[in-house]
Amino acid sequence: MKDFPKYLLNRVGLPNSHTLATYRAEGGYRAIEDVLKKPWTSEQVIGVMKDSLLRGRGGAGFPTGMKWSFMPDITKDPRPRYLAVNADESEPGTCKDRVLMERDPHGLIEGCLIACFAMRAKAAYIYVRGEYRLSYNRLQAAIDEAREAGLVGQHILGTDFSCDIWMHKGAGAYICGEETGLMESLEGKRGHPRPKPPFPAGSGLWKSPTTVNNVESIFNAPFIVRNGAEWFKSMGVPKSTGNFLLGISGHVNKPGVYELPFGLTARQIIDEVALGVWKGRKLKAFFPGGSSTGLLPASMADVVMDHDSVKAAGSMFGTAAMIVLDETASIPQVMDVTARFYDHESCGQCSQCREGTQWLHQIFRRIAHGKGQMSDLDLLVSLSNGMAPAKTICALADAAAIPTLAAVKHFRHEFEECIRLGRDPLRNESKHAPRLHEAHA
């Protein structure tokens, strides 16, 4: 693999990388200083973000600059506006934001300041996943430190710009990572996603214009502001620019979080970055971007890892959380576990999702335990088509339906064999595998 410029994780390895001193020594808070002292206009910041073609790193890949520009004109709409940073990283397989929050919290804070400046937001709320205790503590300490140094709060760096950053700890619900569910949760209600429209930019937190961004998207902002859109576009592929954080897990020799440019193939990533499938086994399948993205078989490992190519291959880039499965993995069991997750995490508002995620799980569980019927496979497809696309308030139903459709499409033979034999030939009979009667109903 050829060498490429890195920027996201440069500070992460430094000693005391989470402190203001280290961050300052590495040129931190230079971008917001630039923006405030030069001074830039909000439109200029949004312009450079738009020009950089940065795509949101939270899963959908929506252009961040474009999202910022959706905020209503301040001269016509005097409501306060907010930035919400989605740090409720709970997509199975994803662990990238955690690295940034634990090891480089000031980078996120500076990104928040820039985003708030660009959108004229008076406050940013960082919604941190409840289990991320270290992230929360480090971020809170960093915010306190920055506030002390006059970088957060009133009259930042002696200018007219004021912006506060507040933290909120989630309570462990996956659905609160959905942007409208996150806003409900931030407001102190049940994390039930809201129907759109109205979109957050029109009516978000406390009915005010709000933008919800992923940690990594916000983290990119200071770099783009300092180095320019052209620098950013020089990395990656034309439609997916910059570097991204890949979280690779599963049956590989070296799982972890890596900074990579767009444009590598999945096989390159597995073999060269994660040093290949473990125990000398062969690759069977992989989730390209978290469990909500469709499973791809080994034969499709030459797909280029960028938003559009993965989509063309019938899956999604998602949060770039690759989950690698080797030849001993049983797809029915993988889907049993995956479906169980969505059954457990559905908020229960929409009929299709509440009942459908449970139903999918029940069917996958039966098949994985050798109690399936051949008609189940068509039923799985039919149910998934009844749940998605876009038939529910949020995308959780889609997230359960997409991997189901992909698994049945690519691994139908494996399900059929399970059903025909009345048992799973690849079943891992470890004591940790749940038995049918004790599995979560």
Partner 1 sequence: MTKIQINGREVEADPKQPLIRACHDQGVDVPMYCYHPGLAPVGSCRICQVEVAGAPGQPSRVVAACRTPVSEGMVVSTDTPKAHDTRRECLEFLLKNHPLDCPICDKAGECDLQDYAFNEGQGKGRSSEPRRKLEKRKSLGDVIVLDEERCILCSRCVRFFTDVTKKAQLTVEGLGSHSVINTYMDKPLEGNYQGNLADICPVGALTSKKFRFQARVWNLSKTLSTCGECSRGCSISVESLRAKQVKRIRPRYNAAVNQWWMCDTGRHALAPLTRALAPEGEVLGGRLRTAAVRGYNGLECSDDVAALDLAADMLASHPGTLVIVSPFATQEEAKAALALAQALKATPQFVSPAPNALKDDLLHTGDPCPNRRGLLELGFGALAPADALAALAVAPSAVLAGERVLELLGHAGLALLPKKLRLVAFDVEASDLASLDIAFPVPTHVEKSGHWINVDGRVGVLNVALPPPALVRRLDLQLAALTAKLSAVPQGS
> Of the two residues 130 and 386, which places its CB atom closer to partner 1 in the complex?
386
- Please state, as a whole number, how many other Cβ atoms lie within 10 Å of the Cβ of residue 249: 18
CA 277, CA 265: separation in Å to the nearest integer?
Answer: 15
Alpha-carbon dihedral angle through residues 410, 414, 415, 418, given to the nearest 10 degrees: 180
CA 316, CA 264: separation in Å to the nearest integer?
Answer: 15
Shortest spacing between CB 348 and partner 1, in angstroms:
4
Tokens of 279: 């125990």
Shortest spacing between CB 280 and partner 1, in angstroms:
40
- 318 by DSSP, 3-state: which? coil
In this chain, which of 249, 315, 358, 404 binds partner 1, going by CB under 8 A?
A: 358
CA 171, CA 173: separation in Å to the nearest integer?
Answer: 6
Residue 343 lies near partner 1 (rule: CB under 8 A): yes
In this chain, which of 346, 406, 415, 426 binds partner 1, going by CB under 8 A?
A: 346
Residue 345 lies near partner 1 (rule: CB under 8 A): yes
> Of the two residues 127 and 359, which places its CB atom closer to partner 1 in the complex?
359
**First CA to last CA across the chain, in angstroms?**
46
Shortest spacing between CB 370 and partner 1, in angstroms:
15
Residue 355 lies near partner 1 (rule: CB under 8 A): yes
> Of the two residues 68 and 359, which places its CB atom closer to partner 1 in the complex?
359
Shortest spacing between CB 104 and partner 1, in angstroms:
33
Residue 173 lies near partner 1 (rule: CB under 8 A): yes
- 3-state secondary structure string, 221-267? HHHHHHHHHHHHHCCEECCEECEEEEEEEECECCCEEEEEECCCEHH
Residue 336 lies near partner 1 (rule: CB under 8 A): no
Residue 195 lies near partner 1 (rule: CB under 8 A): yes
CA 127, CA 184: separation in Å to the nearest integer?
Answer: 11
AA letter at 361: H
- Please state, as a whole number, how many other Cβ atoms lie within 10 Å of the Cβ of residue 99: 20
Size of the site for partner 1 (CB under 8 A): 33
In this chain, which of 153, 228, 348, 434 binds partner 1, going by CB under 8 A?
A: 348
In this chain, which of 37, 190, 207, 409 binds partner 1, going by CB under 8 A?
A: 190
Q: Please report, for residues 297, 298, 368, 405, 406, the alpha-carbon distance to residue 410 in angstroms, rounded to integers and kept in the order given.
A: 7, 10, 16, 9, 6
- Using the rule CB under 8 A, give the single segment among 137-145, 161-169, 322-330, 386-394 that binds partner 1: 386-394
In this chain, which of 49, 357, 368, 404 binds partner 1, going by CB under 8 A?
A: 357
- 435 by DSSP, 3-state: which? coil
> Of the two residues 297 and 386, which places its CB atom closer to partner 1 in the complex?
386
DSSP conformation class of 125: E
Contact residues: partner 1, CB under 8 A? 173, 190, 195, 197, 343-359, 362-363, 373, 379, 382, 385-387, 390-393
